[in-house]
Amino acid sequence: MIKTSIADNIAEVQANIASACDRAGRSPDDVTLVAVSKRQPLDRVIAAVQAGLVHLGENRIDEAEMRRERIMAAGGGYLVWHMLGRVEPRRVRYIPRLFQRFHALDSVRLAERLSDLIVAGDLPPFPVWVEVNITGEASKAGFDAHGWAHSATVFAELRTAIGRISHLRGLDLRGLMTLAPYVADMEQTRPVFAGLRHLRDALTDSLGVPLPDLSMGMTNDYPVAIEEGATTVRVGRAIFGERD
Ligand SMILES: *Cc1c(COP(=O)(O)O)cnc(C)c1O
């Protein structure tokens, strides 16, 4: 794939973001596009950075560590690295070393470890999203939120966990993150995204914690996610093409 086509892809995704915002009466300035570069050839990632993308998303520590320097050197400018994948608590030190945002916080233990590290290093509170599993699919990570609207137990457990995370001094709790199921018709993902927004509203009401940012929407479904309130979309294939 040549450089201009990456730039064209980015322009197309940005136009789709703008029209989704238009339909929802929102401003495109309120939606951050994270280009998901995982398992994409280096030249494509460099082309995207040279085309002006600033936010890059990875889901593996090892891959991010291996390529980061070269991408930074090629980009020349300021990049924001987002970690989207699961991190084992024993590898937590890599989060602030390699990234500026973490979208896949899936346990209180990991949250405490990350917070301790940030506080010990005298660093500014680290921006995090709590990942929740709305659909109950076994393949998906995150805190169990399946059926939360009808289950007092599920909601209470989430409430307790997010309450504890919100008090950690080393973390800047931005909001919630989820993944919709892979379906042919993106319209079918709408209840999942609306569900994340309703869950956020319920947690905010109950805890008094703002949770302003919703990280939701990928190549298959980001326009619907934006209509339902996404503030960060994580788009890989629509920018870079299919992964290896
Ligand atoms: C891979 C991935 C994406 C991007 O997926 P695409 O289908 O390539 O847009 C977004 N979020 C997470 C958590 C991912 O792992």
Q: How far is the CA of 25 from the centre of ligand 1 (A)?
A: 26
Q: How far is the CA of 152 from the centre of ligand 1 (A)?
A: 31
Q: Alpha-carbon distance 41 to 11, whole Å?
A: 20
Domain ranges of the chain: 34-217
Q: Tokens standing for 54?
A: 């600033």
Q: Alpha-carbon distance 84 to 86, whole Å?
A: 7
φ/ψ region of 156 (left if φ > 0, alpha if ψ in -120 to 50, else beta) reads alpha
Contact 217, 210 (CB under 8 A): no
Residues whose CB is less than 8 angstroms from the CB of residue 43 and which lie 6 or more positions away in sequence, other chains included: none
pLDDT, one tens digit for every residue, the chain (244 residues): 444 599 999 999 999 999 999 999 999 999 999 999 999 999 999 999 999 999 999 999 999 999 999 999 887 678 999 999 999 999 999 999 999 999 999 999 999 999 999 999 999 999 999 999 999 999 999 999 999 999 999 999 999 999 999 999 999 999 999 999 999 999 999 999 999 999 999 999 999 999 999 999 999 999 999 999 999 999 999 999 999 7
Q: Alpha-carbon distance 122 to 136, whole Å?
A: 38
Identify the residue whose C-alpha is closest to ligand 1 atom 6.
236
Which H or E run includes 225?
Answer: helix 222-227
Half-sphere exposure for 38 (CA within 13 Å, toward CB): 15
Q: Alpha-carbon distance 123 to 138, whole Å?
A: 35
Q: How far is the CA of 219 from the centre of ligand 1 (A)?
A: 7
Pick the atom of ligand 1 nearest to 104's CA.
13
Q: Alpha-carbon distance 47 to 175, whole Å?
A: 30
Give the tens place of pLDDT for each residue, 55-88. Answer: 999 999 999 999 999 999 887 678 999 999 999 9
Q: Alpha-carbon distance 58 to 47, whole Å?
A: 16
Under DSSP, is residue 59 helix (H, G, I), strand (E, B) or coil? coil
Residues with C-beta less than 6 Å from any ligand 1 atom: 36, 38, 59, 84, 179, 218-220, 234-237
Contact 100, 76 (CB under 8 A): no
Decide if domain 34-217 falls under CATH 3.40.50.150: no
- What is the DSSP-derived secondary structure letter of residue 51? T
Annotate 107-161 with three-state secondary structure. CHHHHHHHHHHHHHCCCCCEEEEEEEECCCCCCCCCEECCCCCCCHHHHHHHHHH
Give the tens place of pLDDT for each residue, 94-110. Answer: 999 999 999 999 999 99
Q: How far is the CA of 99 from the centre of ligand 1 (A)?
A: 17
